[in-house]
């Protein structure tokens, strides 16, 4: 990846989800897609991410994605996801459509989010009780 590559489009709340990704997901295609994005960002921290408050590159492979957006938890899922996106955008000092290097996003997460923040951000996310995201965020915060 270089400065001329297309940005990777990622929902704001998914920036936090990536911190806890462990190779699990909703189905094999989703896991493969998320793993590919996660690996690419790890290898290319200079990669540009376009931050969204709508379905993204990871949602593209999700079996719960519909034309209207996320249906993971029923008809209100997309509204709930956008609310999570809004909280994360505020915490990270970003706006929808901002294009930021992945390393800068990691630094913003490190400075602005702790594991203790996740319950108020993530609501009823089925992954929250597993603690993966909390561990990932706390690891990021201790890493320098």
Q: What is the pLDDT of residues 11-35, one digit of tens each?
A: 999 999 999 998 877 788 888 988 9
- Considering 66-75, 78-87, 89-98, 118-127, the range whose residues carry the highest mean pLDDT is 89-98
More confident of the two residues 64 and 99: 99
Query: What residues contact 67, with CB distance under 8 A and at least 6 apart?
Result: none
**pLDDT at 87 (0 to 100):** 96
Query: What pLDDT digit, counting tens, does each position of 119-138 carry?
Result: 999 888 888 999 999 999 99
- pTM, entire model: 0.86
**pLDDT at 124 (0 to 100):** 83
Distance separating alpha carbons of residues 45 and 28, to the nearest angstrom: 25
């Amino acid at each position: 990846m270089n400065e001329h590559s297309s940005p990777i489009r990622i929902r704001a709340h998914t920036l936090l989800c990536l911190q806890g990704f462990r190779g699990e997901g909703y189905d094999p295609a989703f896991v493969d897609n998320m793993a590919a994005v996660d690996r690419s960002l790890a290898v290319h921290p200079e990669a540009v991410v376009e931050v969204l408050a709508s379905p993204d590159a990871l949602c593209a492979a999700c079996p719960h994605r519909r034309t209207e957006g996320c249906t993971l938890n029923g008809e209100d899922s997309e509204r709930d996801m956008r609310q999570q996106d809004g909280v994360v955008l505020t915490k990270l000092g970003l706006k929808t459509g901002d294009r930021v290097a992945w390393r800068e996003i990691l630094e913003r997460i490190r400075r602005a989010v702790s594991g203790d923040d996740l319950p108020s951000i993530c609501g009823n996310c089925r992954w929250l009780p597993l603690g993966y995201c909390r561990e990932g965020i706390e690891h990021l915060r201790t890493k320098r």
